Each structure stands twice: as structure tokens, then as C-alpha cells.
Copies of this chain bind each other. A is one copy, B any other.
Amino acid sequence: MAAIITRLIFWAVIICLFESILSIKPHQRRLSAYNPAIKNLLPKGYSYQTKYFNQQVDHFGFVNEDTYEQRYLVSDQFWNKNGGPIFFYTGNEGDIAWFCNNTGFVWDTAPEFEAMIVFAEHRFYGESMPYGPESYKDPTKLNFLTSEQALADFATLIEYIKSTTPGASNSRVVAFGGSYGGMLSAWFRIKYPNVVVGALAASAPIWQFHNLTPCLAFDQTVTKTFSYYSDNCVDNIGRVYSTIDNMVKSGGSAALSFLSSTFSLCQPLQANQIDTLEGWLENIWGNLAMVNYPYPASFLEPLPAWPVQEACKPLSTTLQDKLLVRGVAKAVKIYFNSTGTAECLNITQQATGNLGDAGWGYQSCSEMVMPMCSDNTTVFRPIVWNYTDVSESCYKQFKIRPRRDWVITNYWGKSLSAASNIIFSNGQFDPWSSGGVLESLSDSLIAIHIKQGAHHLDLRAANKMDTDAVKAARIQEKKIISQWLQN
């Protein structure tokens, strides 16, 4: 049960947040937007204004008249003020400045479209707290953290921008989003096609829900990404959990000491932390697959190009016992310490203690119930999906219970034939592609599957090390967007 909950919390916080979990230590995430190093990721000469819109807290009831200041970022430096389009990023579960600074495709593309750029922050994240510091302290306040409320915020904000910005009243709006933000952009188009002419939903696992995708799919995709480089790598990682278990069982404190030193842990490992250690390892594999980009990531914690390939190098031959653990530790350090500057690693570091994580934890306990399981063919520990346990755990944590089927009824599940003008892009290496739309559903619901692509690679800024596949994807995306704007 503990392992299930650990995994659940892991998956609950991982989607999209992976960037911050990976590149910025979790407890730092909320600060990242204000870090000059992050701001510098914007292409040179590009800038935006930070604005706030007085937004309704409850769009779906009229008794609560409270409003809050929703943050949004605007750049009109490329905009044709005579009706040029608006590129509208539907903010994820995190600080919008981070997404603004790391969604280079929008910036790279806006000039040729003469588009205004807007990045809208998702309520309950970043600065957009409906009840300020109290937002997360009271279930009755967290009640307003739903995707429907977020979409209503976006629609209302766009109506406001169009009605108050001279020249924008007839501007067509294109939604962009990656990961959960991509899900939102797709859902935005299906629920508010009056507001957006189309949506680029990058790496959006809109089918990662009950009965739409096998619960094993995510872990299998991670495993495939590792096996792309080495079957031995997968085999080794798959065996490391039982190896650690047996080691601790038979070796006692000496084994704990060996593990502490091999993984360079900041705190000596305790006997009751084996599950935490193994969960921490699992987290890393998922993250590595998602950020298996073709070039070094240049965030606070740099990663090499193709980090899964790098992580698999020390695991390319069959290893046993201590050699196996040492190999896995080397792989881990690719993830956490590729520059060699980290003094020690902290297995309790991830996915705790910040509001972004808490927010997604809440969402995954209400609407975003994504079934996950694993078996012994993956780089994860076998685990079954137990909805009842999830429900209990959610009730314990947030005093709410998930509604498994609502997200499917509300956002149409696989019955998308009435939808139009959505691009679903997914990367071959990205675990979340398992819940994505991988084949075109119609002439205007276009799937783009990017060979060797990781998590919304196409939304990142152009890079000289980009693969031909992602270059081709971006060209196709621009062509389709252009069609939306012409029709």
C-alpha cells in the first residue's frame, strides 16, 4: 500500500512538473521565474510585460463573488496591431514565467505570424493564487482548483484582451500548450472553439485515463526509451530493486552504509527508507526519458545531450550485486549531477514541499486520475492499479475523492469526431506519449509523432542540435497554424 501511494504521488506530481523537478530543485521551483538565469533563456531582444487580470474565482456558481489577480505575460513586439493573431499559451501547473521562458517555439514563430504572445498562468500556481497564501490551506478554497475553472479563466481573459486592446477585437487566437498545458489547449479548443481557432497540444496525454490507455503503457514507454539504447540497461535497472532489497536484508547496516556512499546520499540511509530510495530511483527513469533531448539542457542543473543514452552507458553490460548498484548510481548521477558539482544527493528532495506539487497532487486526486501500473518487464517495480486505495489516500490528504469518469465525459474521451483544429504532437521517447493521440483522427485532428522526440521537444526553442524529425514537426505545425489563421 505504501509503495502504491508513493508511486501515485510520484506520478501525480511528475507530469509537466518534470522540468522543474529535473532542472530546478523542487523547493526552489517557485522561485525560478525570478532567477535571471531562467530569464536569459528567452531569445535575445525578446521581452514581455507582466500583467494581472481581475478574474472570477468561481465561474460555475454565483454565490461566491470573490475575484483574484490572474497573472499573464504579454509580448506585442512582433504583433501586427491591425488584427494580427494572438498566440495564447494555456498555462500548466506551475509558475507561468517558467513556461514563458521555456517555450521557445512560440517566440521563434510569433515574428513570422506577426502574433501577439500571451502566456496565461493557471490558477493556484505561480502568483495566481485565488486566496493568496491561504489558497492551499482550506479545502473549500482549493475547491476552485479544477481544469474547467482554468479554461473559463483563459476564455474570459481572452475576451478581455480582445475587447480592451485596440486592434485585437478581430484577432484570431491559437492555443499552445505542452504536457498538462497541452491537455488544456486541446480541451480549450473543444470546449471553447468560439475563442480559439485551433490548438497545438504538445505531449498532451489526454487519453491517460480510465479504460482509454492501459495502465502499464507509461512504464512500458519509459522502458522502451531505455531499451532503445541498451537492453542490458533495462535488464539491469529492472533487477536493481530486488538487488537492493536482498542486500539490505542480508547485509544490514553495512549494506545501508554501502548504499549511502554509493549514491552519495546527504543523509545516511535508514532501514525504513528503502522504499523511498527505490521510489526516488523510479522517478529518475521517468524523468530521464521525458527530457531525453538531443542537446544539453541549460537549466540550473545541466544535463548532457541524450541523457538516457548517457545514463545507460554504465549499465550496458549485465551487472550483479554491488556492481549493479554502482552502475545504477552512475546513471543517477547523470541525472542529478552531470557537472559533478553536487556534493550529495537527497532522496527526499523530489516532489514535496511546494505549492506546484501540492496543486497537482490535488488535481490528480480530483479530475486527473491517471491509472498507472507496472510489471516486471519494465524499469519499475511491479505494481497494480488500485483505485480504491487511491481514493482513500486522496481523502486522507485532501478530504476529497476522485471522480474517475468525469474527465472522460467532460472532455469527450476518445469520441473526438466533433472536434477540429487540434495538433497532437508527441515524441517517441516521451513516456507521456503513451496517453497521447498518436494517429490523426481526421483532416483537422492531426497527430505528429516525432521520432526520437522527448517531452514536448517541439515546443522548445530551436537548437542547432535539433533532429530533422523535430524540425519537420515544427514546419508542419506552422503550416497547419497558418491554415487555421487563413480560413
Indicate if the CB atoms of B400 and A62 lie closer than 8 Å: yes
A64 to B146, CA, bound (A): 14
A156 to B406, CA, bound (A): 8
Majority SS of interface residues in chain A? loop
User: Of the 9-residue stretches A36-44, A190-198, A237-245, which lies at the interface with chain B?
Assistant: A190-198
Interface of chain A residues 372 through 421 with chain B (CB within 8 A): 399-403, 405-406, 409-410, 412-413, 415-421
The total of chain A residues at the interface (CB under 8 A) is 46
Determine how close the nearest CB of chain B comes to the CB of A287; give it in whole angstroms. Answer: 28
Indicate if the CB atoms of A400 and B191 lie closer than 8 Å: no
A191 to B365, CA, bound (A): 24
Interface of chain A residues 133 through 169 with chain B (CB within 8 A): 139-140, 142-144, 146, 148-149, 152, 155-156, 159
A56 in the interface, Cβ–Cβ < 8 Å?
yes
Given A194-B418, A405-B159: A143 and B61 within 8 A (CB)?
yes
A186 to B365, CA, bound (A): 32
A59 in the interface, Cβ–Cβ < 8 Å?
yes
Indicate if the CB atoms of B56 and A403 lie closer than 8 Å: yes
A366 in the interface, Cβ–Cβ < 8 Å?
yes
Interface of chain A residues 29 through 77 with chain B (CB within 8 A): 56, 59-65
* Nearest residue, chain B, Cβ from A65: B401
Indicate if the CB atoms of A193 and B418 lie closer than 8 Å: yes
A144 to B143, CA, bound (A): 14
* Nearest residue, chain B, Cβ from A158: B409
A139 to B61, CA, bound (A): 10
* Nearest residue, chain B, Cβ from A60: B60
Copies in the complex: 2
Interface of chain A residues 93 through 121 with chain B (CB within 8 A): none
Indicate if the CB atoms of A400 and B149 lie closer than 8 Å: no
Indicate if the CB atoms of B415 and A149 lie closer than 8 Å: no
A410 to B156, CA, bound (A): 9
Indicate if the CB atoms of A60 and B195 lie closer than 8 Å: no
Given A159-B405, A418-B420: A412 and B61 within 8 A (CB)?
no
Indicate if the CB atoms of B194 and A413 lie closer than 8 Å: yes
For residue A401, which residues in chain B have a CB less than 8 angstroms away from its CB? 62, 65
Which of B63, B144, B418 is in CB contact (< 8 Å) with A400?
A: B63
Listed residue (A62, A156, A412) with the most chain B CB atoms within 10 angstroms of its CB: A62
Which of B63, B155, B402, B403 is in CB contact (< 8 Å) with A139?
A: B63
Determine how close the nearest CB of chain B comes to the CB of A424; give it in whole angstroms. Answer: 17
A194 to B420, CA, bound (A): 13
Determine how close the nearest CB of chain B comes to the CB of A183; give it in whole angstroms. Answer: 16
Determine how close the nearest CB of chain B comes to the CB of A124; give it in whole angstroms. Answer: 13
Indicate if the CB atoms of A146 and B60 lie closer than 8 Å: yes
Which of B62, B139, B146, B192 is in CB contact (< 8 Å) with A409?
A: B192
Determine how close the nearest CB of chain B comes to the CB of A475; give it in whole angstroms. Answer: 26
Indicate if the CB atoms of B410 and A152 lie closer than 8 Å: yes
Indicate if the CB atoms of B62 and A143 lie closer than 8 Å: yes
For residue A56, which residues in chain B have a CB less than 8 angstroms away from its CB? 403
* Nearest residue, chain B, Cβ from A196: B418
Indicate if the CB atoms of B63 and A195 lie closer than 8 Å: no
For residue A63, which residues in chain B have a CB less than 8 angstroms away from its CB? 139-140, 142-143, 399-400
Indicate if the CB atoms of B144 and A195 lie closer than 8 Å: no
For residue A191, which residues in chain B have a CB less than 8 angstroms away from its CB? 191
Indicate if the CB atoms of B143 and A403 lie closer than 8 Å: no
- B-contact bits for A411-453, CB 8 A (1 contact / 0 none): 0110111111100000000000000000000000000000000
A61 to B144, CA, bound (A): 6
A152 to B61, CA, bound (A): 14
A202 to B197, CA, bound (A): 28
Indicate if the CB atoms of B146 and A403 lie closer than 8 Å: no
A56 to B140, CA, bound (A): 17
Determine how close the nearest CB of chain B comes to the CB of A31; give it in whole angstroms. Answer: 29
A412 to B402, CA, bound (A): 29
Determine how close the nearest CB of chain B comes to the CB of A309; give it in whole angstroms. Answer: 41
Indicate if the CB atoms of B193 and A61 lie closer than 8 Å: no
* Nearest residue, chain B, Cβ from A395: B65
For residue A403, which residues in chain B have a CB less than 8 angstroms away from its CB? 56, 62
Determine how close the nearest CB of chain B comes to the CB of A325; give it in whole angstroms. Answer: 42
Which of B143, B402, B409 is in CB contact (< 8 Å) with A194?
A: B409
List 13 extra interface pairs beyond A62-B146, A193-B417, CB under 8 A.
Answer: A59-B406, A63-B400, A64-B143, A65-B400, A156-B406, A156-B409, A159-B405, A192-B410, A192-B412, A193-B412, A193-B419, A194-B418, A195-B409
* Sampled A-B contacts (11; CB under 8 Å): A62-B143, A62-B366, A62-B402, A64-B143, A155-B409, A156-B409, A192-B409, A193-B419, A194-B409, A418-B420, A418-B421
